[in-house]
């Protein structure tokens, strides 16, 4: 799963026995306790089919009180637990490493409250992201977060990974949009930080601890979030560029000329387009092949104003020869078709074989060089592609080989080189996917020793028995 070996089982954790299962039957109904291996298999395996655990038990609570009782029992008995949302995570955080109990949030899927004046929505952690979007649409609101996994990922999983996605450029991260969290701590304590206030400076902002801590500090059971009004006028442009310099310049022009209506700025290189054309039912919108493509979206509330702005922008980038081809979509069918090119890259990669995934924040000057360096290293041994949220400085570097299983030889060609490069340029070794099981031993490339020590001491205070998502996030060494 990386160039590092899988951590061995910590023998201080209890092994589940029948008495434990009988105890869980006093908390949950029998349908919410899965023990049959064929029912559990999907929960043990991650989305990429890269990580596989060996759990014998899945618990599916419906209420916060049930989560609290389960954790209290596990803490007393020192039973390890992995919280699982939609299981779409990309770093192996959502599946057990060994025999940890899987606590699935999928039965906690109610939208509890919505205020049509403030736009604040409160829901249980297991609510699927797309369900929230569909609930808000008729009321003229939208979720400030959007990602390709929206049909499966859950808001609790999004909060726990501090998911970024394609709207971060416009609405900012969940650290700003989440107003409150209800979480259950390792010992079963229910922590009510479920504020719906926009402003609340009463001491430490504890909810922030649960945003991006990947289930290691508590189980998120409810989330309150500010939602913006849903834009009524949306346009999407797909542009082809000759080199990465053009991509960079178009980005800076888009920021200054489109300003508040710019809602996404994504890029993909030609090998990504070839993968999508190979694996999806889509057609190349361009006659000629180009090395780089930009997907740019504008969203606003006044069609005339937005088109005028967009047309002026297009005229100016064409006059400056910053793009070599372009196509515009203004109706929802064509808009979805354009987005499909960007959003189905991950799925298309998955159909290739073994995929080595790196999610980096890099300064724009060094952004694409790492893709070129890796391509030169691999020659024709692997397919190296680059795409991502270039508007946020976030590159998705993916390297695929035709055959599974993953190979140590390939890992060693990538790691720690990619992390060293990222660290040298003061980037992040995980821009948005988190650390999970994949990167704890590489954390030092992005965090100082003092920061890692403080993280360890917070973990130790909040989960002294280390029952929550062990082996993940924090380095074991």
Which positions touch ligand 2HG (CB under 6 A)? 148, 346, 357, 359, 388, 396, 398
With CB cut-offs between 5 and 8 Å by kind, which of ligand FAD, ligand 2HG, none does residue 89 bind?
Answer: ligand FAD
Position 85 contacts ligand FAD (CB under 6 A)? yes
C-alpha closest to that of 363 among 415, 417, 428, 418: 428
Position 82 contacts ligand FAD (CB under 6 A)? yes
Segment lying near ligand FAD (by CB under 6 A), choices 4-12, 144-152, 278-286, 417-425: 144-152
Q: How far is the CB of 362 from ligand FAD (least distance, A)?
A: 16
Q: Which of 4, 55, 88, 398 binds ligand FAD (CB under 6 A)?
A: 88
Q: Which of 44, 75, 131, 160 binds ligand FAD (CB under 6 A)?
A: 160
Terminal CA-CA length for the chain: 18
Distance, in Å, from the CA atom of 358 to the CA atom of 386, rounded to the nearest integer, reads 10
Q: What is the DSSP annotation of 70-94? A: HHHHHHHHT--EEEESSS--SSS-S
Cα of 210 vs its chain's centroid, Å = 15
Position 144 contacts ligand FAD (CB under 6 A)? no
C-alpha closest to that of 58 among 104, 105, 26: 104
With CB cut-offs between 5 and 8 Å by kind, which of ligand FAD, ligand 2HG, none does residue 396 bind?
Answer: ligand 2HG
Q: How far is the CB of 350 from ligand 2HG (least distance, A)?
A: 8
Q: What is the DSSP annotation of 215-226? A: TSS-EEEEEEEE
Position 156 contacts ligand FAD (CB under 6 A)? yes
With CB cut-offs between 5 and 8 Å by kind, which of ligand FAD, ligand 2HG, none does residue 173 bind?
Answer: none
**Strands annotated E in 330-468:** 354-361, 383-389, 394-401
Residue with smaller CB distance to ligand FAD, 299 or 469? 469
Q: How far is the CB of 321 from ligand FAD (least distance, A)?
A: 31
Which residues have C-beta within 8 Å of that of residue 170, sequence separation ≥ 6? 144, 262, 263, 264, 299
Question: Cis link prior to 416 (omega < 30° from 0)?
Answer: yes
**Which string of b and e fits 24-50 if b means at least 16 CB within 10 Å?**
beebbeeebbbeeeeebeebbebbbeb
Q: How far is the CB of 249 from ligand FAD (least distance, A)?
A: 24
Segment lying near ligand FAD (by CB under 6 A), choices 34-42, 158-166, 174-182, 285-293: 158-166
Residue with smaller CB distance to ligand FAD, 309 or 389? 389
Residues that bind ligand FAD (CB under 6 A): 47, 82-90, 93-94, 105, 125, 147-149, 153-154, 156-158, 160-161, 163-165, 214-215, 219-220, 346, 432-433, 436, 469
């Amino acid at each position: 799963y990386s160039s590092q070996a899988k951590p061995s089982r910590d023998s201080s954790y209890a092994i589940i026995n029948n008495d434990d299962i009988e105890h869980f039957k006093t908390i949950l109904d029998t349908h919410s306790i899965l023990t049959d291996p064929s029912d559990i298999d999907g929960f043990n395996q991650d989305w990429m089919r890269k990580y596989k655990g060996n759990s014998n038990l899945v618990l599916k609570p419906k209420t916060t009180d049930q989560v609290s009782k389960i954790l209290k029992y596990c803490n007393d008995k020192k039973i390890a637990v992995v919280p699982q949302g939609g299981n779409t995570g990309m770093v192996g955080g959502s599946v057990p490493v060994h025999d940890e109990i899987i606590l699935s949030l999928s039965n906690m899927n109610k939208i509890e409250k919505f205020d049509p004046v403030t736009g604040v929505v409160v829901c249980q952690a297991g609510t699927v992201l797309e369900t929230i979007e569909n609930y808000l649409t008729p009321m003229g609101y939208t979720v400030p977060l959007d990602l390709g996994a929206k049909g499966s990922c859950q808001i609790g999983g999004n909060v726990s990974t501090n998911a970024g996605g394609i709207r971060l450029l416009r609405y900012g991260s969940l650290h700003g949009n989440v107003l409150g969290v209800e979480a259950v701590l390792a010992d079963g304590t229910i922590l009510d930080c479920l504020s719906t206030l926009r402003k609340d400076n009463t001491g430490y902002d504890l909810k922030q601890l649960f945003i991006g801590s990947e289930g290691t500090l508590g189980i998120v059971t409810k989330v309150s979030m500010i939602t913006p009004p849903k834009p009524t006028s949306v346009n999407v442009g797909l542009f082809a560029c000759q080199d990465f310099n053009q991509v960079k310049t178009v980005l800076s022009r888009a920021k200054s000329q489109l300003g508040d209506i710019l809602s996404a700025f994504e890029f993909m290189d030609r090998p990504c387009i070839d993968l999508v054309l190979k694996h999806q039912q889509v057609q190349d919108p361009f006659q000629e092949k180009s090395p780089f493509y930009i997907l740019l979206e504008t969203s606003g509330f006044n069609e005339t104003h937005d088109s005028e702005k967009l047309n002026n922008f297009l005229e100016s980038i064409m006059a400056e020869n910053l793009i070599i081809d372009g196509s515009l979509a203004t109706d929802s069918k064509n808009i979805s078709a354009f987005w499909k090119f960007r959003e189905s890259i991950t799925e298309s990669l998955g159909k290739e074989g073994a995929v080595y995934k790196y999610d980096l924040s890099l300064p724009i000057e060094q952004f694409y060089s790492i893709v070129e360096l890796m391509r030169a290293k691999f020659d024709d041994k692997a397919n190296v592609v680059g795409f991502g949220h270039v508007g946020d400085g976030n590159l998705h570097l993916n390297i695929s080989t035709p055959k599974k299983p993953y190979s140590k030889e390939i890992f060693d060609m990538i790691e720690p080189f990619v992390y060293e490069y990222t660290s040298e340029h003061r980037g992040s070794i995980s821009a948005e996917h988190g650390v999970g099981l994949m990167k704890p031993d590489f954390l030092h490339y992005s965090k100082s020793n003092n920061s890692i020590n403080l993280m360890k001491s917070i973990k130790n205070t909040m989960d002294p028995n280390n029952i929550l998502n062990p082996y993940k996030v924090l380095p074991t060494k």
